[in-house]
Structure 1
Amino acid sequence: ETQFKTDLRRFLKTQGLADFKIPKRVEIIQEDELPKTRSGKHIRAGLANILDKTYSIAKPIDKEVRVTLPSFHSAAVGVQFVLAIAVMYVHIGNLNTWIVPSTQDSGKYEQLDQANAKTSEWSNTRTWCFHTPLFFFVGGFLLAAGTNAPISDKKGLQNFYKVRILSLYPMYLISVLLCTVIFIAQCNPRNYIPEFDRTRLPLEGENFVCQATPTEMNWTSTLFTSITTYSLLLQSWPIAAPFSWFLSYYTWFSSVYIFCIFVFPWCHKPFFAGRNDRNTLYKLTISWIFANYIFIAAFSFGLTLMNDEATLNWFVLTVYLFPPGWLPCFSIGIGVCFLLNDYHKLDQINTHAFKLGMLTDGISLFLLGGWVFYGIAGSLARPSLIEESEIGNRYWAAYVSRLLCPVGFLWFCGLAIGKGITAKILSQKIIVNWLAPSSYNVFLFHQPVSELYFFATRGIWWAHPKSFYWFSPYPIPVNTWEVPIVMTIVVFFSMVMHFYVNGVLITTVTSCWSCFRGRKDVSHTVMSVANIVKEAIGRVTHIDPSRLGDETDLTEMGISSMTLPVAVSEINMALKAHNSKLKLTARSVRRASSIDDLVSIASNSRHGGKHDLGPILPVQQNRNQ
């Protein structure tokens, strides 16, 4: 019966029936059991209510749990890949900034004088960093969409942190390990300079600097403190800069995001408490918007107190990375999630959906226009009060991205609603099903993959420091025609890591942790596969398994493409504990949409796990699609 229900839903999907028209509940009864009128005709009106009273089924997630989970369009997932592309664009490509050596033997790249070389001005497009605040906003939005109740008790907190960290940390460690190996190939005891110089330039024939950190420890001690810093995700905190090298330039985002995850339960709680009061939700969201601008004002005031370039350098570096400074963007995402849900509940979005789609497309043109304007007349885009220097460009980029962040947030809301050309493009299956789930890995691996590509094609390492002390070097100066090639390699590598490696990593970590805790390997309790799956899902989502029905949608419980491997690992361990030879794989459950799907795939896994349904979507289709 379970298999029939699963096959029926799958058949309706293949026939092109919209997701919201596919029945979430299927009852199999005898025809003579259907209610009829006195004349013998079947009763159609109110049939669902009559059957509800006659046939009891497993209790689904109740209204109290579902209330925080809005139905948002798949474009809200697809946009993550756009943000990943924006990150790669900022860090990969020459953009007429460097004079490429005529022979490989010289190996020395010379920087163009931007004051005299107008062709290099296009590199200013890299300071149009609208994507950075959006990363944290989307993170807060999706976390809120996948959290079905306040997280307050100790067990709930432990489970929440376990699932989120398991979904992020193992792959993060792999990327840091790869970056560390590349760093050691560049910087080792043979070429180590034990003195620190904030503006030190590379030696002749090199495009990187191997020197001490400000504390000027020996090479081995510095490597140890650096690895410790990155292992504990502390690289974005001010205390780390004096003791640590920048091994993995761009994973400061992971450090900040982990901080946001740790404080999420306390940011989420007041929004959940006011979920039925729109005024309260607006007040909370606006207060976080004010917090963002207060931080910008404090940053601006601090700049006026800087008397010398060295102090200015350290101030900009530490304030830019400071995790609490990004918390407003993250929390605004939580608030917008609740507000969208409130409007969805009252069906007040449909009335203005077309206008919202037009607005979203208008913002898309604005963002694209701003990017082009920066490339054509970047000097005009920077106010005269901002110092005309590389570090001035850097902190102006930090300014403008946060000043305009509400525009980007409004753009994301339009995508979540799903109207307009932009939403249609970003909801294409290849983006949502394959590219977007790999976006986090694109972010993690674009540094080591691009560095290895540069070394393989040039025979030299690239980590040329900026003219000031910063966490990242100049972008990899590959030719313009090579940029899409490098990006494609990064994307394919990231997809392999997500769809084939991540599940193995999480299973290994989970198994090691269970052995460390002395978890029992075998259970003598006889349970059905369905109950085993429900109990495992309940542990991952912190929902009572008795409240989960066969037709319960995975997205309603916060099981997304990031947390699905954690759920698969938990289910496999539970099956193993019951002496079952059944086993799920990340590939076999890629488009499972309900608990029933997981049960069906697990039950048939002894036949080779051929139920390959494609990638899971952490979204619900919008009814206005």
Structure 2
Amino acid sequence: MAQATAAPLAPSTTEHDAMDLLEQFQPKHLILFDGIENPGVEAAFKKIAASGRATLHRAIIREAQEKPGMFDYTISGSSELSSSWVPGGTPLQNPVDGVALLLGTSGTTSRPKGVPIRHGAIVQNGHILGSSIGLTENDVCYSIMPLFHIGGISASILCSICAGAAICCDNEAYNPENMVDALATSNPQPTWYSSVPTIHNATVSYIKSMASDAKMKSYGVNEDGVWKSGHSLRFIRSGAAALLGPDALALSSTYGNIPIIPTYSMSEQMPISQPLQGKMDMISDKPGSVGAPVATSLAIVNSATLSPVPFGSEGEIAICGENVIHHYLNNKEADAKTYFELTLPLDAGSPFQRGRFFLTGDVGVIDNDGYLTLKGRNKELIKKGGEQVSPFEIEEPIISHPWIEVAVCFAVPSKLYGEEVGLALVLSSAAPSGVEDSVVLKEMRDFLKMRNVSPMKWPTKWKVVADEELPKTKSKKYIRVGLSKVLGFEEDSEDILDGDEDDLQKSAPKNNTFIDWAVISGFRFVLACYVMFMHIGSNSSWGAFNNLRGWPWHVHVFFTLGGFSLKFKYFMARFMAMYPMYLVALLFVFINLFVACRPSTFRSTFHWDSQPDDLFIDGEEVNGYSELFCEGTPATPNSYWASLFLSLAVYLLGIAITPVWVLNWWVGYYFWFSAMYYQCLMLFPVMYNKMTTWRGNKKFLTKLMILLQGLNVFIVVLTWTLFEHYSGYSHYEEDGSKNTTEKFTDGRIGNWIGLGWYLFSPFWMLYFVMGACAAFLYDAVRPTETSKSYIMGYIADSCTLVMLAWSIAIICQGNVTYDATRTWNLRPGTADNFTDVAIVNRLWDNICGRLVAPITTLWIFALATGEGVTASILRSTTLSESIAPHAYNCFLFHQPVSQWYYAATRPGLWWDWWQYRKTMYWFSPGPCPVEWYEYFYVVMLTVGFSTLMNITAEPIMAAVIGFIKELLLGNDEDEVTVEEALVFAIEDMTGFAPELDWTLDQCGLSSVGLPQLANRIKNAMPKKFNMTAGQLSDAKTVGDICDVVKKAIAQAEADGI
């Protein structure tokens, strides 16, 4: 600022708002700081730079050990910043009257106003701020306010610099735990900080809720949540919004009754008033006061006549002084509405007799001692948690909607935010007849989103009214002041400090980047089709296409997709909804089991591989097909009933994985996959919580992804190296001719190792973690928010072409038969031995599928953007909406449907595991021996059957599960459901009952609203359970919150609470 004008923009500024401010500010240089996620600002900067109107620079922080807080600057496209220094030239210096700082602030129009703050004024104000609160060179400020806000710039940084004091900053956005840690462990410890009521309240709430924590006790916090010793705070400054009396008392007492300094200021003038040194405890000395004017002349005027009112009378606050901005940036209309000449009844020669005053828009009163107390807002501006919202920012876009005739925006008192945004709507004749208020509400919020209005500014109190219900002046202007009371909106009764909420940062809904879930859904069904291809159609019927069964790349992709989805709704609500269908499929496969496997057909022997008499009598086709039969499990080879009941228990519990698989028959050939998903679900909370700490760290997440991919390669290569030369069985001679059964050897060791490796859950969890890492990296990179997002379409299509090309190459090897004289170029020699151990060949199939994990992970990442030809195909309505929802059911039902189809089209024959088992011990038999074209018949039958089961069997099974639950656990008829409690809580906070598929933005729940919501839900539910706002932070919809609450209740029940 000493050399040029600075104009900081918030990282969350949308591209639309950033472009608007840049058009007003007309900058010559643009600086982007590395490591800061600001997609909207970056996109706007690049557009301005591309137009040639400004130069784009990047600031790279130097290593901390070199010079903390120092940056190196580069010009976009250059390796270093060229110098324009000229020997003997004029030094670049911003004069006293030059503009040092440009800020954007809301005004009485929908367009933000530019606030030019002069160099001399901001420096002098910094000195006034520091001296009025008694800062010394021994003080240390903990800077928590954002540095695009005048409160962070002046009331934390500049005032400390002017006083010669020290400053410590956090490298992350506000987080109460980090803040408490900084106050306790910084060296030297902070002696004061300045912030807004929202942060004060959230930090106090955190300290109270964590008082029993060992770390907090070590800091000096007692059982009552009072932190009297262990910190060095000697006072706390509060600004931006009114700090209510109870909150001020709670703040002071929490830190051991230290003074609280309530202040009054605005972007146009920082500060206006604050307690004088020696009179800093406004809680007891002047309750409700924000101190005395310290940097300006101040008058309380009549809003209509603009003349001063007597002491003790309320009126609009007006200020005057050299440090107040002289005008808005190129905005004569705003200047005309804000500035006025005030004449005082003084002698004509007095310098104070006349002055140019600035109307603040606030209502206040000055007592006989000259102390100011704020009473509310006189103008339309609404201060919500420190953010200023102009009614015109809401009314202007809303009134353009065809359903709306009149929109009146107004302030609603709120303990949580200070003020909230209310909106009264009068519907036009174009609105649907009899439309429900909830439908109007959702439509308006979607419209605000489409019009790029920040969700923080969306109304949270809505009411559809008739025009005559709105109060008006005699000139028919709508009266906003007091409208909340007229319409029945009362101040929130809930106090945020009553709860045990987690910190504000963790409770903040994330600004998630766009993911095309329709494409992901379509891709998931394509994978399900690959699964069915693996199991339907005889090897000989498919010909050379059968080679693709030796490249099962789809299996690990299922797990990567699961990790990429990363939603509690996907893993809890969706997965638990799958369980009834899982039980239905289990019922069918056990019924099919009894066709072939009964006590009368049971053989009390066990084999690790297929036998000559599995399909034909005496192993000879001319002798006819053998009768149906079954064998025991590896653990219970001699007992039919033990094998049956253990199999039933294993599948009901979903644990058909290593090492439990020795207990069960392969009744559901592919149910191991569901069991593996349960393992991933167990990993999910720990994994997700850990990855949340790395959110936005692109470099680290990239390194982690490389490490995971490298670990995958290491595991599969090591496995192959150790196992590729395994020999056994002796089914064939070296020339390829068959051995007699007497020469066969038991392959138990190879099968134990091979199948045990394949069903070892950590090796599949690796791909789940890859998917999770890809999701966090996707969120950090935000590929859809750049002007070159189309590149991701090229990447996705390139991955598609690579996978197709490799598939074609595999097919082009020709029809793979068990020919010992033939060499297959795409398989290593040790996996090209069809006369030896089949388990080795099968492991290679899986390993070569896993080796393409880098490509498939990139494929999913790129497809999620919705760009490219592949995505457009997968997004098709028929695939993504009509067929794809049946992907999981196709996975479950294609086995029994295939068995029924085979029996119906081949009378007298049956396809079961023992008659078609493979030449190694494996969970699936050989493919259903139908012709290749019948694959499509079976797929269509499976999709149709899945649809039928969704309509008929699923509700019945869900009811049965509910009945069993009631029978075992009982049922409280008066119990409030989670959905009811949540809807009631949101309705109480926002004024409308939401639908379960509404997003949190559509409900009007912003970041600091989640702690209050968590409290209300806990109070509404009859069952005791623990839940913090942090647990709600990743919920996207009301339904997601329901899932989080249900999980918290289930955890409480498991813990015996």
* Structure 1 residue aligned with 2:973: 521
Do the aligned partners of residues 363 and 338 (structure 1) sit closer, same or farther apart at CA in structure 2, a change above 3 Å counting? same
Task: Report if aligned partners of 2:551, 2:846 keep a CA contact under 8 Å in 1.
Answer: no
* Structure 1 residue aligned with 2:781: 343
Give the whole-Å Cα distance in 1 for the aligned partners of 2:539 and 2:724: 32
Larger Rg: 2
The one of 179, 201, 211 aligned to 2:631: 211
The one of 815, 825, 828 aligned to 1:383: 828
Deviations, residues 4-29 of structure 1 (Å, cap 9, x unaligned): 3554589899xx99995699967456
Task: Report if aligned partners of 2:984, 2:993 keep a CA contact under 8 Å in 1.
Answer: no
The one of 539, 542, 556 aligned to 1:133: 556
Instruction: Say if 2:997 is the partner of 1:554.
Output: yes
Look up the equivalent residue of 2:753 and give its one-letter code: F
Do the aligned partners of residues 376 and 547 (structure 1) sit closer, same or farther apart at CA in structure 2, a change above 3 Å counting? farther
Give the whole-Å Cα distance in 2 for the aligned partners of 1:135 and 1:555: 28
User: Following superposition of structure 1 onto structure 2, how do residues 18-33 of structure 1 map, counting pairs within 5 Å?
Assistant: 20=450, 27-28=462-463
TM-score by length of 1: 0.70
* Structure 1 residue aligned with 2:939: 487
Instruction: Say if 2:957 is the partner of 1:505.
Output: yes
SS where residue 380 of structure 1 aligns? coil
Look up the equivalent residue of 2:781 and give its one-letter code: Y
Instruction: Say if 2:594 is the partner of 1:184.
Output: yes
* Structure 1 residue aligned with 2:641: 220
Deviation at 1:84, TM superposition (A): 0.9
SS where residue 829 of structure 2 aligns? coil
SS where residue 66 of structure 1 aligns? coil
Do the aligned partners of residues 367 and 453 (structure 1) sit closer, same or farther apart at CA in structure 2, a change above 3 Å counting? same
- Corresponding pairs, count: 504
SS where residue 586 of structure 2 aligns? helix
The one of 537, 552, 557 aligned to 1:93: 537
Give the whole-Å Cα distance in 1 for the aligned partners of 2:597 and 2:449: 54
Look up the equivalent residue of 2:658 and give its one-letter code: W
Deviation at 1:172, TM superposition (A): 1.2
Do the aligned partners of residues 69 and 230 (structure 1) sit closer, same or farther apart at CA in structure 2, a change above 3 Å counting? farther
Instruction: Say if 2:835 is the partner of 1:425.
Output: no
Do the aligned partners of residues 545 and 229 (structure 1) sit closer, same or farther apart at CA in structure 2, a change above 3 Å counting? farther
Deviation at 1:314, TM superposition (A): 2.7
Do the aligned partners of residues 405 and 549 (structure 1) sit closer, same or farther apart at CA in structure 2, a change above 3 Å counting? farther
Task: Report if aligned partners of 2:890, 2:942 keep a CA contact under 8 Å in 1.
Answer: yes
Instruction: Say if 2:930 is the partner of 1:478.
Output: yes
Do the aligned partners of residues 259 and 303 (structure 1) sit closer, same or farther apart at CA in structure 2, a change above 3 Å counting? same
SS where residue 599 of structure 2 aligns? coil
Task: Report if aligned partners of 2:522, 2:874 keep a CA contact under 8 Å in 1.
Answer: yes
Further displaced range: 393-402 or 209-218 = 209-218
Deviation at 1:535, TM superposition (A): 2.4
The one of 887, 890, 894 aligned to 1:446: 894
The one of 166, 188, 196 aligned to 2:576: 166
* Structure 1 residue aligned with 2:707: 287
Look up the equivalent residue of 1:145 and give its one-letter code: K
* Structure 1 residue aligned with 2:842: 394
The one of 537, 547, 551 aligned to 1:124: 547
Give the whole-Å Cα distance in 2 for the aligned partners of 1:207 and 1:349: 63
The one of 246, 249, 253 aligned to 2:669: 249
* Structure 1 residue aligned with 2:436: 4
Instruction: Say if 2:776 is the partner of 1:366.
Output: no
Deviation at 1:397, TM superposition (A): 1.5
Give the whole-Å Cα distance in 2 for the aligned partners of 1:285 and 1:555: 33
| Aligned-residue CA RMSD (Å) | 4.3
Give the whole-Å Cα distance in 1 for the aligned partners of 2:651 and 2:451: 48
SS where residue 352 of structure 1 aligns? coil
Do the aligned partners of residues 19 and 391 (structure 1) sit closer, same or farther apart at CA in structure 2, a change above 3 Å counting? farther
Instruction: Say if 2:510 is the partner of 1:67.
Output: yes
Greater share of strand:
2
The one of 660, 685, 690 aligned to 1:239: 660
Deviation at 1:487, TM superposition (A): 0.5
Give the whole-Å Cα distance in 1 for the aligned partners of 2:964 and 2:768: 32
Task: Report if aligned partners of 1:192, 1:219 keep a CA contact under 8 Å in 2.
Answer: yes
Look up the equivalent residue of 1:289 and give its one-letter code: Q
* Structure 2 residue aligned with 1:562: none
Deviations, residues 322-376 of structure 1 (Å, cap 9, x unaligned): 11110110011111111111223xx764333211101111211222222222222
SS where residue 641 of structure 2 aligns? helix
SS where residue 382 of structure 1 aligns? coil
SS where residue 812 of structure 2 aligns? helix
Deviation at 1:165, TM superposition (A): 5.3
Task: Report if aligned partners of 2:901, 2:938 keep a CA contact under 8 Å in 1.
Answer: yes
Deviation at 1:32, TM superposition (A): 10
Give the whole-Å Cα distance in 2 for the aligned partners of 1:513 and 1:320: 35
Task: Report if aligned partners of 1:313, 1:469 keep a CA contact under 8 Å in 2.
Answer: yes
Deviation at 1:184, TM superposition (A): 1.4
Deviation at 1:478, TM superposition (A): 1.4
Deviation at 1:164, TM superposition (A): 6.0
Do the aligned partners of residues 70 and 514 (structure 1) sit closer, same or farther apart at CA in structure 2, a change above 3 Å counting? farther
SS where residue 214 of structure 1 aligns? coil
Give the whole-Å Cα distance in 1 for the aligned partners of 2:711 and 2:544: 34
The one of 172, 175, 192 aligned to 2:585: 175
Give the whole-Å Cα distance in 1 for the aligned partners of 2:596 and 2:988: 52
Give the whole-Å Cα distance in 1 for the aligned partners of 2:825 and 2:984: 55
Deviation at 1:507, TM superposition (A): 4.4
Deviation at 1:396, TM superposition (A): 1.6
SS where residue 491 of structure 1 aligns? helix
Give the whole-Å Cα distance in 2 for the aligned partners of 1:476 and 1:554: 41
Give the whole-Å Cα distance in 2 for the aligned partners of 1:330 and 1:534: 34
Task: Report if aligned partners of 2:584, 2:953 keep a CA contact under 8 Å in 1.
Answer: no
The one of 751, 756, 779 aligned to 1:318: 756
Give the whole-Å Cα distance in 2 for the aligned partners of 1:120 and 1:400: 21
* Structure 2 residue aligned with 1:414: 862
Deviation at 1:269, TM superposition (A): 1.5
Look up the equivalent residue of 1:66 and give its one-letter code: P
Look up the equivalent residue of 2:786 and give its one-letter code: N
Give the whole-Å Cα distance in 1 for the aligned partners of 2:450 and 2:675: 38
Q: Which runs of 5+ in 1 are unaligned?
A: 43-53, 98-118, 149-159, 526-530, 558-573, 579-592, 597-625
SS where residue 538 of structure 2 aligns? coil
Do the aligned partners of residues 400 and 295 (structure 1) sit closer, same or farther apart at CA in structure 2, a change above 3 Å counting? same
Deviation at 1:271, TM superposition (A): 0.5
* Structure 1 residue aligned with 2:298: none
* Structure 2 residue aligned with 1:277: 697
Show structure 1 runs of 4+ deviating over 4 A. 5-13, 16-34, 39-42, 54-59, 536-539, 543-553, 593-596
Deviation at 1:550, TM superposition (A): 5.0
* Structure 2 residue aligned with 1:259: 679
* Structure 1 residue aligned with 2:520: 76
SS where residue 195 of structure 1 aligns? coil
Give the whole-Å Cα distance in 2 for the aligned partners of 1:520 and 1:249: 40
Task: Report if aligned partners of 1:68, 1:338 keep a CA contact under 8 Å in 2.
Answer: no
Task: Report if aligned partners of 2:513, 2:784 keep a CA contact under 8 Å in 1.
Answer: no
Task: Report if aligned partners of 2:643, 2:665 keep a CA contact under 8 Å in 1.
Answer: yes
Task: Report if aligned partners of 1:128, 1:370 keep a CA contact under 8 Å in 2.
Answer: no
Task: Report if aligned partners of 1:212, 1:218 keep a CA contact under 8 Å in 2.
Answer: yes
* Structure 1 residue aligned with 2:279: none
Give the whole-Å Cα distance in 1 for the aligned partners of 2:727 and 2:963: 54
Deviation at 1:92, TM superposition (A): 0.7
Task: Report if aligned partners of 1:435, 1:495 keep a CA contact under 8 Å in 2.
Answer: no
Higher relative contact order (CA 8 A, sep 6+): 1
Task: Report if aligned partners of 2:438, 2:994 keep a CA contact under 8 Å in 1.
Answer: no
